[in-house]
Structure 1
């Protein structure tokens, strides 16, 4: 910090102070206990640079979060901003977990005491008021933890009503200020913390998702392999965003040094080139994280060479190349799983191969054989392999010497979307054409704080994300689109040459002020560049490669495609694009003809809200 506030900022603070002074004096006259309330100005959320609600009021066992905007116009970005402050305090602040946390947006220049946007949902926590709700109804039936939108004159009534429903158990302000705040870091931030020897926050979400149990299971498998001089294969399944990559990175870090403290014993491998580049850029190192294709080029096939490491963690192992793709690219006909098992057999002591398995994300040619390749590789080797996996994929591995099923190896809870478990269900139902079911998921997502917006205007989407994250330097937002979507004419450059020019490391990692940052919104990532990575709020362009025909999604024929099922790859591409957001997603459907009109209407039917 250290910088002096601007004159404009000082004036804003004075205005807030005056408004609160008048409001709280009036409240104290009728509610004497209000004199014991504590008021906190500019509370900066720990670990989140630049995120600070204007005012926090501790009333009884309730936390009021106030955001002041010197405007008369109600903007979604402002509503969502204060809703996110309240959501994150509720979930990540130890002294607020068991409290009512209510967001209030104060529009200082509005002539309307209380208002709500027409057509917005009034669901709990959705950041809106019920359509048609009268002024008299507003405070009488205020939804718990939804955003109240008021002007200075309406502030007193709303605060008084919110306070009346809270138990009369005063919060200790000093204890509240010193309480631990453990936000969910992005994958890249978590990786940097791990390898900088910094402790990760004790995230309740990760604890309840079973990530510590998963790592403990891997440690036990490694110890068993080492102690008994055996070959082991452990497979971890999980929905997108469930923490598979975080598990792999944490496990590699804990095993990177051998018993002597000098020998490297573990490496994180990925065929996801952008993920490797981003992690190497963030870690400023190429030692811990390596490209799997370079690794297998050096040690696989006929090379006969053996790596130092005993533990190899392969991210997105279901995307391992089949023998046909390896022959095409490397000149020999052993699949990547066969290569790994062959390398393990050449180790003179022990080996543990860990495969991180994403579900429904095969988007490249040569990846479609999936998990069965690993069982086929075991069948072709003469060495006994012990397989550890969750029950749901156990039937695949009938060639294993021993099979150990463990449900801690299945991660089925998303970490990336702030408790929005319904995101995965929404995407699945949307792509399966079950629009009504998707709409039900969308309503639940909104209650959980995950925003799903639709627009036909790219500039409107850009204006929203910029205003939503103004002055929040750790937030990342950017443009995403399908590699086959032909979105260049609509402002999203997803053609081959544009994406090749983009430096993916800085694009994801650098702050909003960097010319190379995704926040500049002048370049775009495709499904190939965003798989395994995330943004706080992406703008996803809907392309020409997936259209709604009234009953289902269809993709145009791809005359030169060698894929076994090109349509499945298109669906999986959109599955990846639609699951990259942490706070939500803005879907941009170009205004480009009747096909796009049908797509837009389908997305509306699936629960998307106009921006």
Structure 2
């Protein structure tokens, strides 16, 4: 487990005695980049300010300069521990004013420590923004320190002459706090749970998955699963075998992270295990690519280099590819094997069945009579290798959400019927009901070259890091296991709040007031939610995933504005910190259970096909498992004047959600 590091750390008393040159020298020696004049001058200013402000105010404690926050890829300018409080000091040298963005930056650091640094969990953490430029009359020491329920103070801005007074105020605000054992605190492990965007960025920069993932003795972690897959790859190469590997996991368990980890380790074309990451999830591919390109350009700029987005995009696009583009390339070239011996298919359950693939080939590619499912064709491409090949299928249970998505059984049927020489490595959970592949698995398991592995299943959600049982709750809720759902929600509602309301404005106000700093929130709905237009929610308006997921708070196209809504097709595979789910009458509770409906023309029509029912249920499964920290569910009141929105279309759903223990907000 990684221990957090800094460029300089010393007891306050020693820091006050050390000459400034000594402090600067140690910081310079421990940095891993070329020290420019601006950074050097900032460090000198910070050291001089703190020597002046801490003298006579802080008699004990420890200082850390440039304290690392690996998950965010950032460093805290100064971290001070004294008494019962951890101070996060973010300096803006030369500035005479401050921005909300700068305040949020300091707040983010404090929240990250609180959530992911083990020995910071129960501590009071106070983020302070320090302005070192010309004094402004608008900036002054606050009269009172505001602290949230988890012990993180709300950030405030001061000028550099107010540091001593501010520390004294904070100290006096918590007179009964237990003094922090600094030695114990320093030995605390950092156990982050990154978003998939943060994880992709860290892995692309050659960080190890061990540095960015939560470690837990009670679950199979990402490292073990990655190592299991790599052993399969090594064995296949050494013995000239072809193999397919099925990795399962609950929503948010880290399946995509496993795939990215393998792909990033072997993205060099000269690597003997060169891998490519493929996904049929267009929004996921778009968002991850855009995020990595922005990171590359930003990192180059910090190093004084000029890198255009176009140049940065080329290697990124080779690393993460759309599975349909990969497929099309080998339809055009029907003889050559892929250049990659290892391919990782994310959300493999969403690959197309025979009918969907044949229809697409006829309409879009001018290829009539195409008679292979997408899994069958993709396996056939890898089967062109004369020596060895490995396919890694990352599988989400109950995640098929669109017409023509074959589910995992299509992969298994193809291997069983057409590729008897291929080895199959199967997760122990492939027979679970949500994978809808039990009969196919039984046939495949009977073969001698089929192997079942516990290590190929990720059982605990990392997405909702505050409460690992959220995905189990959602499954019980949708399966109408009322008692299980009630028991589960009572176990995590204090850590991972789920609220329900009939009022959209109340939901928006709650989510805006609950989210802190740069915790991202957004509004999501089912793609069948056609009668939310009276609430100014129109599913026909397509959002651009790049702007919705990556835009900042000033971007009206971003999720922050709670204006443009994303559907299950946009958010699947991605996540937000807080989510507002607006529940329409397409999937409504009745006396006889869930009723599945589609709005056609001017009225709701029953959905009768089991396949389409499953897609709609899975859509709500996706929506209800997108949030990392909590969510609010809006069930509209409906209207007696609108036959498409009668109140009874919504009332039973609201009663059901309330009955399992979700707290109602007005």
* TM-score tier (shorter): 0.7 to 0.9
Shift of 1:179: 6.5
Partner residue, 1:70 = none
TM-score by length of 2: 0.67
Partner residue, 1:185 = 194
Shift of 1:63: 6.1
Partner residue, 2:472 = 425
Shift of 1:466: 2.8
- 8 Å Cα contact 2:60-2:82 kept in structure 1: no
- 8 Å Cα contact 1:479-1:492 kept in structure 2: no
Partner residue, 1:171 = 181
- CA separation in 2, counterparts of 1:336 and 1:399? 24
Unmatched 5+ stretches in structure 1: 3-16, 18-24, 26-33, 67-81, 116-126, 129-144, 150-154
Shift of 1:374: 1.9
- 8 Å Cα contact 2:194-2:212 kept in structure 1: no
- CA separation in 1, counterparts of 2:392 and 2:535? 41
* Cα 1:543–1:190 shift into 2, 3 Å: same
Q: Does 1:486 align with 2:523?
A: no
Partner residue, 2:496 = 450
- CA separation in 2, counterparts of 1:481 and 1:374? 30
Q: Does 1:92 align with 2:116?
A: yes
Unmatched 5+ stretches in structure 2: 1-37, 40-52, 89-105, 127-141, 155-169, 294-315, 363-369, 431-440, 600-604, 639-646
Q: Does 1:409 align with 2:447?
A: no
* Cα 1:86–1:555 shift into 2, 3 Å: farther
- CA separation in 2, counterparts of 1:205 and 1:147? 21
- CA separation in 2, counterparts of 1:552 and 1:35? 66
SS of structure 2 residue aligned to 1:553: strand
Partner residue, 2:245 = 234
1:477 pairs, out of 487, 500, 521, with: 521
2:582 pairs, out of 541, 557, 577, with: 541
- CA separation in 1, counterparts of 2:422 and 2:207? 36
1:254 pairs, out of 238, 243, 265, with: 265
Q: Does 1:532 align with 2:573?
A: yes
Shift of 1:381: 2.0
* Cα 1:311–1:525 shift into 2, 3 Å: same
SS of structure 2 residue aligned to 1:493: coil
* Cα 1:223–1:589 shift into 2, 3 Å: same
- 8 Å Cα contact 1:235-1:355 kept in structure 2: yes
1:210 pairs, out of 221, 242, 246, with: 221
2:425 pairs, out of 388, 402, 425, with: 388
Shift of 1:58: 5.8
Partner residue, 1:73 = none
Partner residue, 2:30 = none
Shift of 1:457: 2.3
Shift of 1:495: 2.1
TM-score by length of 1: 0.73
Aligned runs of 1:39-438 on 2, under 5 Å?
Answer: 47-48=71-72, 89=113, 91-96=115-120, 100-101=122-123, 159=174, 163=178, 170-172=180-182, 176=185, 181-199=190-208, 202-203=211-212, 205-206=214-215, 208=217, 209-258=220-269, 260-261=270-271, 265-284=274-293, 285-300=316-331, 303-331=334-362, 332-367=370-405, 369-382=406-419, 384-393=421-430, 395=442, 397-398=444-445, 400=447, 402-438=449-485
- 8 Å Cα contact 1:451-1:583 kept in structure 2: yes
1:567 pairs, out of 613, 618, 622, with: 613
- CA separation in 1, counterparts of 2:235 and 2:556? 49
* Cα 1:35–1:595 shift into 2, 3 Å: farther
Cα deviations across residues 521-554 of structure 1 (Å, max 9, x unaligned)?
2211101111111011111111111111145222
Partner residue, 1:606 = 660
Shift of 1:462: 2.2
Shift of 1:365: 1.2
Q: Does 1:439 align with 2:486?
A: yes
- CA separation in 2, counterparts of 1:264 and 1:406? 22
- CA separation in 1, counterparts of 2:327 and 2:613? 30
Shift of 1:218: 1.1
Structure 1 residues 425-434 or 404-413, which shifts more? 425-434
Structure 1 residues 562-571 or 248-257, which shifts more? 562-571
SS of structure 2 residue aligned to 1:256: coil
SS of structure 1 residue aligned to 2:120: coil
Q: Does 1:597 align with 2:651?
A: yes
The Cα RMSD (Å) is: 4.3
- CA separation in 1, counterparts of 2:222 and 2:459? 11
* Cα 1:353–1:307 shift into 2, 3 Å: same
